[in-house]
A and B are shown apart, each in its own frame.
Chain A
Amino acid sequence: MSLRDNAAGPDQTLASLHAALVRYRVMAYVTAVLLIILVFVGVPLQVWDNDLLMVKVVGTMHGYLYIVYLFAAFDLTRRLRLPLLKMALVLLAGTVPFCAIVAERLLTRLYDRSAPHLAPSTAGPATQET
C-alpha cells in the first residue's frame, strides 16, 4: 500500500490546485481565441464589409465566457497565493488580444515551480529500522 493512498492533505491540495489550473487554462485559451477572432476577423468585417454577424456572435460569446474566465482565473490566482496586483492583471488579460495566452504561460510556469513544494514527496525511509 502506498502512502499516497491515505495522505489526505497535500495530495488533495495538489489535486484541486491542478484541477483549478486545467479549468483556468481551458478558459484562457477559449477567451483568447474568441477575442483574436473578434478583433482580427470580426472588426475588419464590420468596418470594411459592414457585416455585423461575426461581431455579434463572437462578441456575445466572448462576453459571457469572459465571466467564466474571471471566476476560473480568480480561483487559480487565489490558490497560487498571487498578490492582488498580479491577480488583477491576470483577470484583465482576458480583455486584451494575446494577453490571456501570455498570462496562461506565466501561471503554468508558476504552478510548475510551486507544485513540487506544495506536495512534498511521501517516499521516504519509512521502514529503515525493520
Chain B
Amino acid sequence: MTTVAHPTPVDSSGLLPSEAPLQLIDQDGRPGGNPGSLALPAPEMLLELHRRMVLGRQVDVQCTALTKQGRLAVYPSSRGQDACEVGAVLALRDQDWLFPTYRDTVAILTRGVPAEQALTLLRGDWHCGYDPYQYRVAPQCTPLATSALHAVGLAHGARLRGQDVVALTLLGDGATSEGDTHEALNFAAVWHAPAVFLVQNNGYAISVPLSKQTAAPTLAAKGIGYGIPSLLVDGNDAAAVYAAVRAAVQRAAAGGGPTLIEALTYRIEAHTNADDATRYRNADEVQAWLARDPIARLEAYLRARSLLSDVDVTAVADEAAQLAADVRERMNADVTVDPAELFEHVYARPTAALERQRAALLEELELEAEAGR
C-alpha cells in the first residue's frame, strides 16, 4: 500500500463548470448557443424525451387535482422541471440506479414504476409502494440529501462486487446545504465511485430563494472543492439534461468517477398543494418561466425539423390523456390497509413483543367490530 500525506497539486481548471449553462436547444426551439462538449441526442431520443415529458406533465397535473379531491395526502409537483425528470432518467442504463426525492414522481414513472406503486407514499397507504430492486429505484427520500450517501454506497459497493452499475442521485437546491450532500460528494470523489449527482435548481427551497441558500457563484461550482468535475446546464432543455447525464453515466461506468450536474429550472407550482407560493414569489416570475416551458421548446425544435407532425402531437396528447385517466381511476379506487401489517417488516421476523402487540390490536379491532362500531 502506498500512502501520500499531501498529494501533488493537480490542474483543477477542468473541474469547473462553464459560466453560462450548457444548452443544446434554446427556449425558442432553435439550436442552443452554448453546447459545450454535449452531443445532441439522436432524433429518436428527442422524440422519446418529448413523449415522456408530455406523459409526465399530464400525470403531474392529474396528481395535483387528486390532492384537491382528497385522493392523495399530498403532492409535490415537478411541473416545469419536466426536462430534468425525464432527461435524467432516460439517460440511465437498465442496470443503473435512481435515487429520487419526494418531488420526483415523474422520474419514477419514467423509470417504469406503475403509477399506483409510485404514488403509494403520497396516497398514504404505505411508505414505499414499489420493489426497489425490480426497477433499480430507491425509495423516495423525504429527508433531504440522505439518499445521496446511499447512492454512493450502492455505487461503490456494486463496483466492489464487480458489477457495472452507476447510481444517479436527484437533489434540489435546498439539499445542497445539507451536510449529507457534502459527505456524499466527498466520499464519491475519494472512492472514485460511479455516481452522478443532478441538482435540480428550481430557485426555491419551499419559500427560501437561492440567494439565502448559498453564496457560491453556482451550485455546480461546489464540485471543485471535492475534486469532482461539474456541469452547469439549462434544466429546461431536455436534450441538454439528457446529454449531460448520459455523458456522466458513461464516464462513471468507464471508471472516470463521479460528476456533479446543476440544472437551472423552475418549479411552476407551489412546493406542494399545502403551500401558498404567492407569499414568497410574484406572478411575473412564474410567467417568465412559463415562457421557457421545456415541452414547448422541444416541440418547436422537432416541428421545425419535420420530426414531429400535428398528427404525432395529437397522438402523444391522446396517450397522455389516457394515462392520466388511468391514474385517476386507480387512485379513486378505495384503499384497503391491513393493520396486522404494521408489525411486519420491522425486523426480519416479528419479535415476541411485537407478536403480543399484534394480538392485542387484532383483539381490540374484533371487540370494536362486535360492538358494531
Answer yes or no: do A and B interact.
no
